[in-house]
């Protein structure tokens, strides 16, 4: 019996200890009556409610009623044993009700409670934090999307501006507004982006190299190497090893293996100028490049793959050369996939004014001259001229004129047309040969003399002393001739 009572006491004291130490609030409530027990946690949160009825304050009474009500409601709702939530003043409480049979058979309830206020607050803060992060993120994502859209739009605008600028810069570089030149410019832009081989044809000085430069600038290989080779300036064997490289010992002096320009320029563009001048052997090698995209080094036999875009130019008539048998037909076909043919300047004289203005501007700046006037008579002379040397000749004429001009104006005195190779004699011959019929030698010589004296006097603005010096004749002789040919220095001042 004593043993039993000891055991009971031990159990009660253990239970007591447990109740006293757990952080949760524990209340033992008698339904509709009183609070029988509160552990320290409960007391510190709610105040001591287990007092004699007469010492309970009104405030404590309200609290007791609140929990009595909670108990009744939970029982009525049949939720004993469940974890539920309620609020007390400003606090969020989690509670569980569990029944307890009293010593006197009365029914009591354990009310276990935990204050969730802090953790709820933390949860709310966390969720607020999440929400604001989400808002910020979604803002940022929208901003990024917007800026991506703007970026794409700007990139598009930039590209079109670049294209526009390229076209404009092409217009600046390739001056002229004739229909032929506008069509030519359009064609350059159309074909530049493809990797197709291009053959540029046109008389000397028409702008073949200029077109080759524009093609490369507007192609997809702008940032890759660009190599220009003038096929007629290098000897054939040198050209072959220069272009295709050589194996060690392939010829005297080839003491080491060397990569050719086609290999070095791999990925880029090669401009073969004067292509009409290459030998049959070179023609065969070039055909291999264009046909199979490979080269064989001089003295070697294994082909090397290369990726080079070829632009070729010539002022020779390759089709006639094919007919004569000096140019391979198959190579001609391979080169002539796209032909850009530049018309001679005499066939597009509408470009003369633009070109003249362009060159005056260019050389005015270069020579620091202030040329600002070009008389109509000069323009007429330029239009009359046949321009056998094409744009290059015009450039030379204007360059000389700007350099020599006095008083900011170009006059006839500064206008000298190029003497084209083979053309000097030709045009001189033509003039005087035309006059041969029915004229004596004396007449013809007199005619020449008159022309020469007039021309030089004009150049020297009627200054006889300078003319004497330049023509290296005596003053009396010059006066004699001027009298004979009815030339007056005053007319040339
Ligand atoms: N349309 C043009 N606008 C401005 N300059 C031009 C134009 N055409 C040619 N030129 C200029 O004329 C000169 C000769 O042009 P380019 O060297 O390209 O001619 P080409 O056809 O290659 O001559 P060649 O057959 O003698 O080698 C260059 O200074 C070039 O810049
Ligand atoms: Mg050229």
CATH code given to domain 195-343: 3.40.50.300
> For residue 177, how far is its CA from the centre of ligand 1 (angstroms)?
16
- Among left, alpha and beta (phi > 0; psi -120 to 50; other), residue 341 is beta
C-alpha distances (whole Å) from 475 to each of 456, 458, 466, 469 are 14, 17, 10, 9
Among all bound ligands, the one having the nearest atom to the CA of 203 is 1
Tell the burial category of 283 from Cβ atoms under 10 Å away from its Cβ (0-12, 13-18, 19+): middle
Residue nearest to atom 31 of ligand 1 (CA): 210
Alpha helices in 22-86 (DSSP H): 40-46, 58-76
**Which element (helix H / strand E) includes 94?**
strand 91-101
349-492 sits in which CATH class?
Answer: mainly alpha
Among all bound ligands, the one having the nearest atom to the CA of 204 is 1
Kindly report, as residue ranges, where domains of CATH 3.40.50.300 are found in the chain. 195-343
Tell me, using a 6 A CB cutoff, whether residue 203 lines ligand 1.
Answer: no
Q: How many beta carbons lie within 10 A of that of residue 74, not counting itself?
A: 20
Kindly report, as residue ranges, where domains of CATH 3.30.450.20 are found in the chain. 13-115
Strand, coil or helix: 317: coil
> 295 near 262, Cβ under 8 Å?
yes
> For residue 306, how far is its CA from the centre of ligand 1 (angstroms)?
30
Alpha helices in 58-178 (DSSP H): 58-76, 117-173
Kindly report, as residue ranges, where domains of CATH 1.10.8.60 are found in the chain. 349-492
pTM: 0.57
Q: Which residues pair with 100 in a beta bridge?
A: 108
d(CA 34, CA 54): 12
CATH code given to domain 13-115: 3.30.450.20
Tell me, using a 6 A CB cutoff, whether residue 389 lines ligand 1.
Answer: no
Residue-level pLDDT, tens digit, the chain, 493 residues:
778 888 888 888 888 888 888 889 999 988 777 888 999 999 999 888 888 778 888 888 888 889 889 899 999 999 999 999 999 988 899 999 998 877 777 788 999 999 888 888 888 888 888 888 888 888 888 888 888 888 888 888 777 776 666 655 655 589 999 999 999 999 999 999 999 999 999 999 999 999 999 999 999 999 999 999 888 766 666 778 888 888 887 777 777 788 888 999 999 999 999 999 888 888 988 898 899 898 888 888 888 899 999 999 999 999 999 999 999 999 999 999 999 999 999 999 999 999 999 999 999 888 888 887 888 999 999 999 999 999 999 999 999 899 888 888 888 888 887 665 544 444 444 445 545 555 667 777 777 788 888 888 888 888 888 888 888 888 888 998 888 888 888 877 7
């Amino acid at each position: 019996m004593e043993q039993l009572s000891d055991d009971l006491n031990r159990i009660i004291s253990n239970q007591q200890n447990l109740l006293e130490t757990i952080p949760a609030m524990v209340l033992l409530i008698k339904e509709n009556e009183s609070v029988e027990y509160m552990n320290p946690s409960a007391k510190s949160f709610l105040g001591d409610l287990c007092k004699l009825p007469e010492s309970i304050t009104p405030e404590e009474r309200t609290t007791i009623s609140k929990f009595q009500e909670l108990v009744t409601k939970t029982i009525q709702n049949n939720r004993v044993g469940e974890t539920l939530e309620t609020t007390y003043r400003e606090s969020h409480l989690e509670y569980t009700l569990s029944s307890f049979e009293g010593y006197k058979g009365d029914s009591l309830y354990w009310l276990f409670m935990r204050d969730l206020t802090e953790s709820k607050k933390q949860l709310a803060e966390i969720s607020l934090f999440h929400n604001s992060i989400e808002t910020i993120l979604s803002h940022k994502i929208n901003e990024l999307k917007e800026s991506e859209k703007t970026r794409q739009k700007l990139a598009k605008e930039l590209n079109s501006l670049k294209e526009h600028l390229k076209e404009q810069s092409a217009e600046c570089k390739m001056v002229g507004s004739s229909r032929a030149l506008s069509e030519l410019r359009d064609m350059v832009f159309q074909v530049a982006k493809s990797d197709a081989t291009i053959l540029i044809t046109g008389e000397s000085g028409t702008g073949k190299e200029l077109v080759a430069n524009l093609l490369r600038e507007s192609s997809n290989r702008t940032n890759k190497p660009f190599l220009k080779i003038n096929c007629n300036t290098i000897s054939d064997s040198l050209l072959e090893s220069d272009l295709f490289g050589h194996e060690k010992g392939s010829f005297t002096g080839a003491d080491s293996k060397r990569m050719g320009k086609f290999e070095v320029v791999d990925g880029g563009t090669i401009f073969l100028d004067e292509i009409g001048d290459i030998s049959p052997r070179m023609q065969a090698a070039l055909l291999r490049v264009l046909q199979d995209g490979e080269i064989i080094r001089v003295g070697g036999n294994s082909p090397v793959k290369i990726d080079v875009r070829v632009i070729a130019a010539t002022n020779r008539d390759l089709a006639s050369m094919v007919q004569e048998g000096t140019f391979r037909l198959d190579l001609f076909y391979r080169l002539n996939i796209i032909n850009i043919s530049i018309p001679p300047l005499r066939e597009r004289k509408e470009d003369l004014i633009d070109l003249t203005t362009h060159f005056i501007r260019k050389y005015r700046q270069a020579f620091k001259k202030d040329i600002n006037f070009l008389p109509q008579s000069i323009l007429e002379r330029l239009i009359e001229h046949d321009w056998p040397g094409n744009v290059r000749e015009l450039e030379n004429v204007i360059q000389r004129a700007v350099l020599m001009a006095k008083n900011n104006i170009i006059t006839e005195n500064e206008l000298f047309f190029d003497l084209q190779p083979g053309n000097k004699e030709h045009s001189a011959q033509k003039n005087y040969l035309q006059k041969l019929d029915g004229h004596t030698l004396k007449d013809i010589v007199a005619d020449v003399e008159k022309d020469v004296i007039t021309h030089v006097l004009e150049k020297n603005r009627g200054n006889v002393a300078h003319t004497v010096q330049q023509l290296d004749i005596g003053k009396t002789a010059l006066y004699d001739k001027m009298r004979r040919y009815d030339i007056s220095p005053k007319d040339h001042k």
